[in-house]
Amino acid sequence: MRSTSRLVVAGLVIGVGLAVASPSFAQATGANIWAKGGCADCHGNLAAGDGDPAYPQGPNLRRTALQRADLREAIACGRPGTDMPYHAAGAYTAATPCFGITAGVPPATRKGGALSVQDLDTLVEFLLTSVKGQARITRANCALFNGGDLEAPACAEFPR
C-alpha cells in the first residue's frame, strides 16, 4: 500500500515535469524524428543542406518557401522522379492519397522510413518552428538537434 502510493506520487511528479517541459520536449521529439527518419543523411544534421556526401544532396530546408500543407506533402509523399523519398506509412493508397494517386507508389519514387501521422505532424511542426526561415544558426537552435545540449561539440561554432 505504502509503496503503491509512492509510485503514484512518483508518476505524478514525472507527469507534471513533462507537462511543464512540454515546449522543448515537443521540439526534442521533432528533432529525434528528424534524426531517426534519416532526413539528416541528405539534408544535413541541422537541415542546412550539407548532408553526408555518401547520400544524394537534399536542399537547405532553412530556406524552403513551402507552407505547412506542401511541406507535409513533400515529406509524406516524397517527390516522384527525384531523390526525395516518401515517408508516410501507406502513401499512395486510398487511406493516404498522394498527389491524387491511390493506386500505389509510382515508378522512380524513392521509399523512406514509414512515419506515423503523429510523427509526421510533429516533424512538420518542428520544421516550421525551428528550421524554416532560420538561415542563421544559433547555438540554441543547434542544441535542439543535439539533445538540448548547448555545450555539444557540434554546436561550438555557432554564436550564443
Binding site for ligand HEC (CB under 6 A): 37-39, 41-43, 55-56, 58-59, 61, 64, 66, 71, 74-75, 79, 82-85, 87, 112, 123
Contact in structure between 62 and 134 (CB atoms under 8 Å):
yes
Closest alpha carbon to 85 in 60, 56, 63: 56
Phi, then psi, of 148 in degrees rounded to 5: 80, 10
Cβ nearer to ligand HEC, comparing 86 with 155: 86
Q: In the complex, what is the shortest distance from the CB of residue 98 to ligand HEC, in angstroms, rounded to a whole number?
A: 14
β-bridge partners, 101? 98
**82 versus 150: smaller Cβ distance to ligand HEC:** 82
Q: Is 55 helix (H, G, I), strand (E, B) or coil?
A: coil
Provide, rounded to whole angstroms, the least separation between the CB of residue 50 and ligand HEC. Answer: 13
Nearer to ligand HEC, 85 or 141 (CB): 85
Least distance from C-beta 160 to ligand HEC, angstroms? 27
- In the complex, the smallest distance separating the C-beta of residue 12 from ligand HEC, rounded to whole angstroms, is 35
Select from 12, 58, 31, 66 the least CA-distant residue to 154: 31
Cell of 139: 547555438
Q: Which is nearer to ligand HEC, 19 or 69 (CB)?
A: 69
Q: How far is CA 61 from CA 6, 74, 91, in A?
A: 47, 12, 22
CB of 73 to ligand HEC, least distance (A): 9
107 vs 159, beta carbon nearer ligand HEC: 107
